[in-house]
Amino acid sequence: MLDLIIENGHIIDGSGAPRQRLDVGVQGDRIAAVGDLGQETARQRLDAAGRIVSPGFVDVHNHTDGWLLKVANFAPKTTQGITTEVLMADGISYAPVDQSTARDWIFYMRALDALLLEEYDGWHSVAEYMQRVDRASAQNAIAHIPYGNVRSMLAGYGDRPVDDFQMRLMVEEVTRGMEDGAVGLSTGLDYIGQCFASTDELVEVASAMAPYRGLYVSHIRYKKGTLAGVMEAVEIGRRAGVPVHISHMKATTPPDIEALLEYVDTVARNEVDFSFDVYPYLPGSTMLTYLLPFQVWVDGPLGVAAKLTEPDVRRDFARELASSKLENMHIAWLPGRENARHIGKTLDVYVAEVGKPPEDALCDLLIEENLAVLLVFHHGDDVLVRPFLAHDCYMMGSDGIYFPDSAVHPRLYGSAPRLLGPCVRDHQLFSLEDAVRKLSGYPSERFGLTERGVVREGYFADLVVFDSETVTDRATYEDPHQFAAGIDHVLVNGAAVVRDGVPVEDLPSPRPGRALKYRA
């Protein structure tokens, strides 16, 4: 007898193949049967008439590393059907660390992810962190090796070139991470420490992954120009002999979009094994510290406050702010009670209220908030991201950032349903079968998730039941904390984590989500 039969639905299996009228039988944590199961017996039957049954979705770029330790059922994601999170994006996370850098990273990440200093309980390696993630929440997770953590631990935060000894230690650290099951190396070349990494350095570190076919996953040097950044990533992949994946790749003008996708089609995918992700929105979101000149980072996160008092730094910052539109950025979140009333305000309004020059107002705000200020940017039309979504090297990464009582980017709640609904029905960018593949089969294959991402007998029972007519995102910039519509049921390793559109709070213990290991 089966545990569960999901019957009368249409299966979209995640491979891109056309839908089929078939039932799915679940036994324990696996898909036990796919076919006509009308004669089979089961403890429970779920009627999926008029619904699609698909594999669980994979979010290949997110900032959920800490939330998975703190929240049993991370509803902004599970209610979209996301059953696996690929952690430790942008080269910045909570591991690997040593006693000293653990404090740095929890401090630095305060406006990006969940953890507080008092929650550090002594982990060092990525593997030790992932042991804590295993069975801690509703979702599965797999990790990158974040390069910022590796570099700061073994070569410091400064802008001097890495020496041979430091390089040897970094190569050992990356090798250990790959042995432990990481997907590959993530980099964030606009962020702390890594902004000083040279191309040659990145080639040498990435080469350590070649025996494992680890992925080089990069937030490229967007500040220096997207096309140049993608070209550098392709060069790194080619010289290191590893596949390349670009994080949140998009451009904001039609000529830039054309140039970028032409480069992808004529060069990138010929020179390396190439893919990319982006969330289906044009506007972005990141920490306010992102706008600071790179020089503030040379003494590490705890040295930044002192740098922000230096007149030179403020002068450089003023120059950078002169070219950005303050009215197009709003304060999405900050931790201080005193300043909480400013959440949701655009920076021009905030600056006017404080009555100081912009660079002084924002440097002082960063000092008051221990650097922890999250921004959302408003610029451009979502139409401009569509050519990327429609590209066949594209898979979904939400880049979602969560805080309660915040004005975060709606991509956190809406990325998957937006691909399944509006992008298929209204914009006709691709078929529903392709949308499901971009959310399940393709990322599972790319990020080495064994026996997941396709509805197939013997595979793990990560499953979503949704309504193709009504599925859509509901989160907006004004009102971001809105669950998707049309996602009815979500299973992770056979256990229900969303039932009738509602996140399940009484999850079995240990919880269903597992820490996964990469298999190329």
Of 369 and 399, CB closest to Zn ion: 399
- Span from 87-95, 261-269, 305-313, 460-468 in contact with Zn ion (CB under 5 A): 87-95
Instruction: Decide if residue 90 touches Zn ion (CB under 5 A).
Output: yes
Q: Least distance to Zn ion from the beta carbon of 377, Å?
A: 13
Of 51 and 219, CB closest to Zn ion: 219
- Span from 157-165, 214-222, 295-303, 354-362 in contact with Zn ion (CB under 5 A): 214-222
CA atoms within 13 A of residue 481's CA, in its CB half-sphere:
9
Of 246 and 361, CB closest to Zn ion: 246
Q: Which residue has the tokens 């298929």?
A: 424
Q: Least distance to Zn ion from the beta carbon of 284, Å?
A: 9
Q: Least distance to Zn ion from the beta carbon of 89, Å?
A: 6
Site string for Zn ion, 23-62 (x = CB under 5 A): ----------------------------------------
Of 19 and 219, CB closest to Zn ion: 219
Of 90 and 467, CB closest to Zn ion: 90
- Residue 432 CA from chain centroid, whole number: 22
- 327 token code pair: 């009215």
Q: Least distance to Zn ion from the beta carbon of 419, Å?
A: 19
Instruction: Decide if residue 511 touches Zn ion (CB under 5 A).
Output: no
> Do 481 and 86 form a contact (C-beta atoms < 8 A)?
no
Question: Which residues contact residue 507 at a Cβ distance below 8 angstroms, ignoring those fewer than 6 apart?
Answer: 72, 73, 138, 495, 497
> Do 45 and 7 form a contact (C-beta atoms < 8 A)?
yes
Q: Least distance to Zn ion from the beta carbon of 183, Å?
A: 16
Q: Least distance to Zn ion from the beta carbon of 399, Å?
A: 6
Of 220 and 365, CB closest to Zn ion: 220
Q: Hey, which residues does 31 pair with through a beta bridge?
A: 26
* Three-state DSSP class for residue 255: helix
CA distance 379 to 462: 36
Q: How does DSSP assign 206-244, residue by residue?
A: HHTTGGGT-EEEEE--GGG-HHHHHHHHHHHHHHHT--E
Of 194 and 472, CB closest to Zn ion: 194
Q: Which of 10, 51, 219, 437 binds Zn ion (CB under 5 A)?
A: 219
Of 219 and 511, CB closest to Zn ion: 219
> Do 450 and 26 form a contact (C-beta atoms < 8 A)?
no
Helix or strand run (H / E) with residue 497: strand 495-499
Residues within window 4-23 making contact with Zn ion, judged by CB under 5 A: none
Instruction: Decide if residue 190 touches Zn ion (CB under 5 A).
Output: no
In single-letter form, the type of residue at position 29 comes to: D
Q: Least distance to Zn ion from the beta carbon of 219, Å?
A: 4
Q: How many residues line the site for Zn ion (CB under 5 A)?
A: 2
Q: Least distance to Zn ion from the beta carbon of 137, Å?
A: 23
Q: Taking Cα atoms as reference points, which of 375, 370, 323 lies closest to residue 350?
A: 375
Q: What share of the chain is helix, strand, coil (3-state, %, to 5)?
A: 40, 20, 40
Residues lying near Zn ion in the complex (CB under 5 A): 90, 219
